[in-house]
């Protein structure tokens, strides 16, 4: 069995567990079992609201003493580094012991340690009877600034969900081109640009389209937003992400819904749909194959549910 090079940890609230599982499946191509897992795929945790840590495993051993010996023998060199213990939910030692382990390993690395804004961070953890040491990458949560975009409205999709939709649509492959043909104020566009995708928006309401451009400009992001209807789009994309409009001022009629579904199938090979109501029958009536689906709550106490479908 091929060794897995990366050790990841997740964190999610229970009401978003299904959404997290769908994202893990899209990025890593296996079903989520626990909040800690091994993989050969290298993903930056900051592209996800749920990925917290990634350790690129350099050494592992059941004995900490032997782990230290392995690091010492390797004669690692690093400038402005630190060693950080990563808690992975299983038999974590006390704070004092974690600090001691970090110091012991840090003393075996040749170079100058730096504890404030280090250039390189090494991670150590104990998980299921084994010690792991390697290069640590953590979610830097800078994407949370998107929550403070200057233009928004009450029914805007949450930034967390937007990030997951991008990952589901692109499967971590940044060469894929994505379209949001009902982009609203551009929450999905912000997530797409942040994750490194070529993403384009379309919005039928001229005022809202201008707000989307304003949000992109606020973060110095470069993505095109056209004002128009989905039926007027003549390009073909790898995937489309559609958060169907809802609410008192943006209801989607049955005819509008069928038009959106029909044209989404025309302009994209894959469709990620989000709706505040169950439209499974409408999706099937357009002969779209449902590959995956999940439900996600607004919070742990809310009855408001969003439905997510992955179709082709």
Q: What is the pLDDT of residues 190-200, one digit of tens each?
A: 999 999 999 99
Mean pLDDT of the chain: 92
Supply the DSSP symbol for 267. H
pLDDT one-digit tens code per residue, 204-227: 999 999 999 999 999 999 999 999
In the chain, ranges of CATH 3.40.50.150 domains: 142-311
Task: Identify the pLDDT of residue 249.
Answer: 41
pLDDT one-digit tens code per residue, 58-93: 999 999 999 999 999 999 999 899 999 999 866 788
Task: Indicate if the pLDDT at residue 1 is higher than 70.
Answer: no
8: closest CA among 31, 194, 34, 170?
34
Burial-class residue 246 by CB neighbours within 10 Å (0-12, 13-18, 19+).
middle
Task: Identify the pLDDT of residue 156.
Answer: 76
Measured CA to CA, the distance from residue 149 to residue 130 in angstroms comes to 43
Task: Indicate if the pLDDT at residue 46 is higher than 60.
Answer: yes
Q: If you compute the radius of gyration of the chain from its CA atoms, what whole number of angstroms results?
A: 22
Chosen CATH of 6-138 out of 3.30.2130, 1.10.10, 1.10.3470, 3.40.1710:
3.30.2130
Task: Indicate if the pLDDT at residue 250 is higher than 60.
Answer: no
Task: Identify the pLDDT of residue 246.
Answer: 61
Residue 162 near residue 189 (C-beta atoms within 8 A): no
Measured CA to CA, the distance from residue 300 to residue 2 in angstroms comes to 39
Task: Identify the pLDDT of residue 104.
Answer: 96
Task: Identify the pLDDT of residue 90.
Answer: 63
Task: Indicate if the pLDDT at residue 302 is higher than 80.
Answer: no
How much of the chain exceeds pLDDT 70, in percent? 95
- Superfamily of 142-311 according to CATH: Vaccinia Virus protein VP39 (3.40.50.150)
Query: Can you list the alpha helix ranges (DSSP code H) found in 29-158?
Result: 64-74, 95-106
Residue 60 near residue 50 (C-beta atoms within 8 A): no
Position with higher pLDDT, 124 vs 247: 124
- Cα angle 41, 46, 48 (rounded to 5 degrees) comes to 75
- In order, the DSSP letters of 65-95 are HHHHHHHHHHT-B-SSEEEEE---SSSPPPH
pLDDT one-digit tens code per residue, 92-149: 889 999 999 999 999 999 999 998 899 999 999 999 899 999 999 999 988 889 999 9
What contacts 208, CB < 8 A, 6 or more positions away?
184, 185
In the chain, ranges of CATH 3.30.2130 domains: 6-138
Task: Identify the pLDDT of residue 158.
Answer: 87
What contacts 114, CB < 8 A, 6 or more positions away?
80, 81, 82
14: closest CA among 299, 303, 275?
299
How much of the chain exceeds pLDDT 90, in percent? 80
Measured CA to CA, the distance from residue 135 to residue 188 in angstroms comes to 31
Task: Identify the pLDDT of residue 175.
Answer: 97
């Amino acid at each position: 069995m091929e060794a897995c090079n990366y050790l990841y940890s997740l964190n999610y609230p229970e009401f978003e567990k299904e959404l997290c599982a769908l994202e893990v499946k899209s990025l890593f191509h296996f079903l989520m079992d626990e909040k800690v897992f091994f993989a050969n795929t290298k993903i930056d945790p900051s592209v996800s609201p749920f990925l917290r840590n990634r350790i690129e495993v350099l050494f592992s051993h059941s004995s900490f003493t032997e782990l230290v010996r392995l690091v010492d023998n390797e004669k690692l060199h690093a400038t402005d580094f630190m060693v950080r213990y990563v808690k992975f939910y299983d038999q974590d030692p006390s704070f004092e012991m974690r600090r001691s382990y970090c110091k012991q390993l840090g003393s075996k690395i040749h170079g100058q340690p730096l504890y404030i804004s280090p250039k390189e961070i090494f991670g150590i953890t104990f998980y299921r009877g084994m010690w792991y040491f390697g290069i640590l990458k953590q979610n830097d949560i800078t994407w949370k600034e998107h929550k403070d975009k200057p233009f928004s409205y009450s029914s805007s999709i949450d930034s967390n969900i937007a990030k997951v939709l991008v990952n589901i649509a692109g499967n971590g492959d940044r060469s894929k081109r994505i379209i949001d043909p009902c982009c609203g104020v551009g929450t999905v566009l912000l997530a797409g640009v942040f994750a490194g995708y070529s993403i384009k928006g379309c919005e039928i309401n001229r005022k809202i389209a201008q707000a989307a451009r304003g949000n992109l400009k606020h973060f110095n992001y470069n993505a095109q937003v056209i004002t128009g209807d989905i039926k007027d789009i003549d390009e073909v994309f790898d995937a489309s992400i559609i958060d169907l409009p809802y609410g008192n001022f943006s209801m989607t009629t049955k005819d509008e819904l069928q038009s959106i579904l029909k044209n989404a199938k025309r302009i994209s090979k894959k469709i990620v749909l989000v709706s505040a109501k169950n439209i499974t029958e409408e999706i099937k009536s357009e002969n779209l194959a449902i590959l995956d689906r999940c439900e996600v709550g607004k919070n742990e106490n809310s009855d408001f549910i969003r439905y997510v479908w992955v179709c082709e």
